[in-house]
Amino acid sequence: MTEKSAGEVEPGREPPGSTVATAEPEFDVDALVENLLAGEHRALARAITYIEDRTPGYRQLVGELHEHTGDASVVGITGSPGTGKSTLVDKLALEYRDRGETVGVIAVDPASPFTGGAVLGDRIRMGSTVGDMDVFVRSMSARGALGGLAAATADAVRALDAFGKDRIIIETVGAGQNEIDVVRTADTVAVLVQPGAGDDVQMLKAGILEIADCFVVNKADLDGANRTVQELTEMLQLERDVDPIVRTGHHGADEVEDSQSDTEESHDESADADPEEWRTPVVETVATHGEGVDAVIEAFDDHRTYLADSGALEDRARSRYAEEIRTLLREDLGTLLEAEIEDRGGIEGLAADVHRRETNPYAVADELLDPIRDCVADNRD
């Protein structure tokens, strides 16, 4: 019952115009962090809620959790609706548990842009591990308006990491930029494809191809699985042939031990590639029966080894943090400017002025920004 302490602080609505950064926490941050680190599930759940809601205090919370993170391996799984993501995640969680590892899952589902409402159904497919609290499944909706889904996911992953989860899986429908940003939080990204998805494979060319560290052809017992595997393999081959110099140029002369042995599920036949270059494998699974799940885990582990050995793990993490800092700053500045806009009678008034040709958008923006610019200039040493 000690967990309840997390909820004891009385609300106290944030004063209008103040940013989340400066607002007083609405909950007892230290107690929550302590309980979370002590392994209380409810504290973890509540922490993620505060992160999602951006309850004032969540920044301090995430800030304090950050130093306890870095031990989990984070995998992102994306793919079109109906390819079997949740089912595969369920079986992966089961397999990890069999190996004695603890698992955290963040399942992101779309939300209605009109009402903000959502039905988050991924839990239904995750029946293999029910009753096992060491699999922590959390559904999140893409509350699109905030544009902060990726940030919220990254923070939720931090909470799971700090809690001590060994494996963290982020699952999302690979529909748009927002979702792609979400899976980027992961060290390893798997893209799920189902057989016969000719158009899907076409679609992959447009952008998802680049983010995939591993392709999984699920429902491999269906007709056309071979063809899909073949198409993917060819596409990956093409991709490699296009820019061999870029990919291998800087470490061509390095003596590297041949750490990347081809797994047998890899359908990649070219043997002349740089051993330090990651060759995206194509793995076949039948997730409903758990077939091929081992191979998927092996591919994930291979990729992580590759990342660690090549130094890419750190590079990726650093560039993620850089992006995160930028996003935070944009967001905070945005909030600050919103307050300025409110102060000047709201955006509608300004828009109306522009519409009446009394002013123009650039002038309005300058007018709003100038005091801030001056302030920054004055305070710079």
Please name the amino acid found at residue 355. H
Among 7, 39, 176, 311, binds another protein (CB under 8 A): 7
Give least dist CB 175 to another protein, A: 18
The nearest distance, CB 162 to another protein, in angstroms, is 16
> Shortest CA distance to 128 belongs to which of 98, 90, 167?
90
Contact residue for another protein among 183, 187, 331, 350 (CB under 8 A): 331
Instruction: Confirm or reject binding of residue 318 to another protein (CB under 8 A).
Output: no
Question: In angstroms, rounded to a whole number, what is the distance separating the alpha carbons of residues 310 and 318?
Answer: 14
Tell me the C-alpha distance between 166 and 258, whole Å.
Answer: 27
Cβ closer to another protein: 143 or 219?
Answer: 143
Residue placing its CB nearer to another protein in the complex, 49 or 263: 49
* Segment interacting with another protein (CB under 8 A) among 72-80, 133-141, 212-220, 267-275: 133-141
Q: d(Cα 49, Cα 65) in Å, to the nearest integer?
A: 15
Rounded to whole angstroms, what are the CA distances from 319 to 51, 213, 331, 381? 22, 17, 18, 28
Among the listed residues 30, 71, 119, 352, the single contact to another protein using CB under 8 A: 119
**What is the footprint of another protein within residues 73-102 (CB under 8 A)?**
none
DSSP codes, 213-224: SEEEE-STTSTT
Among 34, 37, 42, 203, binds another protein (CB under 8 A): 42
Residue 45 binds another protein (CB under 8 A):
yes
- Residue 131's Cβ-count burial label (10 Å; 0-12, 13-18, 19+) is exposed
What's the start-to-end Cα distance of the chain, in Å?
Answer: 50
Regarding 60 and contact with another protein (CB under 8 A), the answer is no
Q: Which two tokens stand for residue 215?
A: 């392709």
177 makes contact with another protein (CB under 8 A): no
Complex with another protein: residue 145 or 375, whichever CB lies closer: 145
| Token pair of 144 as six digits | 């699109």
CB of 115 to another protein, least distance (A): 4
136 touching another protein, by CB under 8 A: yes
Which member of 121, 176, 198, 345 binds another protein (CB under 8 A)? Answer: 121
Taking the complex as a whole, the smallest distance from the CB of residue 379 to another protein amounts, in Å, to 24
Residue number with CB closer to another protein (11 or 252): 11
The answer to whether residue 163 forms part of the interface with another protein (CB under 8 A) is no
Q: Is residue 91 within 8 Å of residue 296, measured between CB atoms?
A: no
Q: Which of 120, 273, 354, 368 binds another protein (CB under 8 A)?
A: 120
Mind giving me the DSSP string for 43-111?
Answer: HHHHHHHHHHHT-TTHHHHHHHHHTT-S-SEEEEEEESTTSSHHHHHHHHHHHHHHTT--EEEEEEEE-
CA atoms within a 13 Å half-sphere pointing along the CA-CB vector of 347:
4
Residue 71, classed as helix, strand or coil, is coil
Burial of 380 (0-12, 13-18, 19+ CB in 10 A): exposed
CB of residue 213 to another protein, shortest distance in Å: 28
Q: What angle do CA 241, 242, 245 make, to 5 degrees?
A: 85
Pick one of 67, 100, 131, 261: the residue that binds another protein (CB under 8 A): 131
Chain positions 333 to 352 lying near another protein, rule: CB under 8 A, are 334-335, 338
Q: Does 158 bind another protein (CB under 8 A)?
A: no
Segment near another protein (CB under 8 A); pick from 137-145, 199-207, 214-222, 229-237: 137-145
Name the segment binding another protein (CB under 8 A); options: 74-82, 87-95, 119-127, 207-215. Answer: 119-127
Token digits of residue 52: 């999602």
**Residue 110, CA atoms < 13 Å, CB-side half-sphere:** 12
- Name the token pair of 80: 């079109």
By CB under 8 A, which span of 15-23, 74-82, 263-271, 276-284 interacts with another protein? 15-23
- Distance from C-alpha of 274 to C-alpha of 258, rounded to nearest angstrom: 9
Residues contributing to the site for another protein (CB under 8 A): 1-4, 7, 9-11, 13-14, 16, 19-20, 23, 26-27, 41-42, 45-46, 48-49, 52-56, 111-112, 115-121, 123-124, 127, 130-131, 133, 136-139, 141, 143, 145-147, 331, 334-335, 338
